[in-house]
Structure 1
Amino acid sequence: MRFATPLVPARLIRRYMRFLSDVELSDGTVVKAHCPNPGSMMGLKDEGMRVWIEPNDDPKKKLDWGWRLAELPDAFVGIDTGAANKVVAEALAEGIDALSGYDVIRPEVKYREKSRVDFLLSSSGRRDCYLEVKSVTLSRQAGLAEFPDSVTARGAKHLGDLAAMVEQGHRAVLLFLVQRTDCDRVTLAADIDPTYAAAFKAAQAAGVEVICLACAITPDGITATHQLPYG
């Protein structure tokens, strides 16, 4: 996934009200940027850190800038949770080994009660595959990516929905997309959200599969690369 407009480096002043941030451009100008991440963004919102923002000329959007990347001393992190589905959609089109062999890939399909699955994969003679994507940006230990970074009742509901699909005879997969370049394995942050961890354990027991993908990230774009181990 290439960014639609070349990103601009800036310095973070603050992130506030969940979806807003103030950043300073290289010429000293302070601008307001949309922060497309509802999580805690632990470790990614420190004052003074280098960030990359995208200019926006869409008159329908309220802000002229959107925050896209956080730059750490040894890594890039994609903070836009909405980008995860775009990255996975491209990866599915190019082929993910564990999800190959499906002829039709449909995004945002309604199912269960007030739910939408990120992707529904289908093919004649095969079980439908319900694929839920989660963007992973938290890392509190070198090399280890964790999900979630805050309590997510919605995420726990999604796990229950996936388990229900398995019980109905379908295939269900939870895909963790690790949007940071300094991690080589993935696990749950059970201390942050014990309820989600319990729902995850129940979903796995019901037959929900887990796939973890790494990303290559630069100010030009984000691409899913290879599978990472979970555990």
Structure 2
Amino acid sequence: MLRPSETLCKATSISLGPLEEGVLVSRINRFVAQVMLPKKGLVYAHCPNSGSMLSCCEPGRRVFLKNNGSLVRKYPFTWELIDMGSSLVGIDTNIPNRLVSEAFRLGVFPGYEDFRIVRREVKTGDSRLDMCVLREDGKGGRLWVEVKNCTLLLGKTAFFPDAKTLRGQRHLRELMRLKKNDESMLVFVIQRQEPEAFSPADFIDPDYGKLLRDAIKEGVKVVAFKCKVKKIVCLHHMVPIRL
């Protein structure tokens, strides 16, 4: 019999497909990185992460790119992974939403196994949240879910955000508003394997940290998962939230 973490990982596995290994030269802006490939030389790769990427964009590190094979894209390569020594780190901020959506859809999200009808990118108030999830039998209220990608690591603790985020603050306020009539949840997906806990990055955005604590007091469910990260990425298990 599979353990709960193994069941979750098997159900949410996302293959990154064939990847080419290279060395990170520099991240020249939020969306583009220079990478040296053994056979192709210096290439430019799209960076699917507009955050600061503190603790996971060190030049000289081994990285993995996907060749999209497109003749029309400005940058045919996409940066998918970086090897930080103690763990591979997932770069793509779209992956967490896909992982969480699959966990709900397949009935393996811990404690919410009967919430399986997933609606993505739902507008509510002045915000657009990642998903609204309903019970399979159609009974009961809605579960509003916002997902955040997390890669910042200090010691054995993962932190969010890695830059001041007014958008993230707005999402927290919206989750608190929705909690008055429905259930609401914030899910942090840590795309690396080392963390033993998660904390808000008060040293980067103290306003976000305060709002997160307020949201928890108001009944917003907050959870953090760390991932197994290889050429296949999956949710593995929850880590404790330390406030």
So what's the TM-score if we normalise by structure 2?
A: 0.89
Instruction: Give the AA of the match of 1:133.
Output: V
Superposition pairs of residues 1-231 of structure 1, within 5 angstroms: 1-3=14-16, 5-27=17-39, 29-94=41-106, 95-113=108-126, 115-123=127-135, 124-141=138-155, 143-167=156-180, 169-219=181-231, 221-231=232-242
Deviates more, 1:128-137 or 1:19-28: 19-28
- Give yes or no for contact 2:69–2:76 (8 Å, CA) kept in 1: yes
1:90 and 1:103 map into 2 onto residues whose CA distance is: 9
1:184 and 1:118 map into 2 onto residues whose CA distance is: 26
RMSD between aligned residues: 1.3
2:72 and 2:15 map into 1 onto residues whose CA distance is: 22
How far did 1:125 drift?
2.4
Instruction: String of CA shifts for 1:62-82, please: whole Å, max 9, x gaps.
Output: 211000111011201101112
- Deviant stretches of 4+, over 6 Å: none
2:116 and 2:153 map into 1 onto residues whose CA distance is: 36
The count of corresponding residues between Structure 1 and Structure 2 is 226
2:55 and 2:188 map into 1 onto residues whose CA distance is: 19
Q: Which residue of 1 aligns with 2:11?
A: none
Instruction: Give the AA of the match of 2:230.
Output: T
- Give yes or no for contact 2:104–2:116 (8 Å, CA) kept in 1: no
Instruction: String of CA shifts for 1:99-125, please: whole Å, max 9, x gaps.
Output: 221241111111111x21111111222
2:71 and 2:132 map into 1 onto residues whose CA distance is: 33
Instruction: Give the AA of the match of 1:9.
Output: E
1:130 and 1:218 map into 2 onto residues whose CA distance is: 30
How far did 1:208 drift?
0.7
1:29 and 1:128 map into 2 onto residues whose CA distance is: 51
2:71 and 2:218 map into 1 onto residues whose CA distance is: 47
- Give yes or no for contact 2:103–2:109 (8 Å, CA) kept in 1: yes
Instruction: Give the AA of the match of 2:103.
Output: A
How far did 1:217 drift?
0.9
1:35 and 1:103 map into 2 onto residues whose CA distance is: 32
1:2 and 1:126 map into 2 onto residues whose CA distance is: 34
SS at structure 1 position matched to 2:196: strand
* Runs of at least 5 residues in structure 1 that lack an aligned partner in the other structure: none
SS at structure 1 position matched to 2:34: strand
2:29 and 2:164 map into 1 onto residues whose CA distance is: 17
Identity %: 31
Instruction: Give the AA of the match of 2:169.
Output: A
Deviates more, 1:72-81 or 1:170-179: 72-81
SS at structure 2 position matched to 1:149: coil
Deviates more, 1:84-93 or 1:204-213: 84-93
1:85 and 1:35 map into 2 onto residues whose CA distance is: 17
* Runs of at least 5 residues in structure 2 that lack an aligned partner in the other structure: 1-13
How far did 1:49 drift?
0.7
So what's the TM-score if we normalise by structure 1?
A: 0.93
SS at structure 1 position matched to 2:15: coil
1:43 and 1:226 map into 2 onto residues whose CA distance is: 22
How far did 1:91 drift?
2.0
Deviates more, 1:176-185 or 1:90-99: 90-99
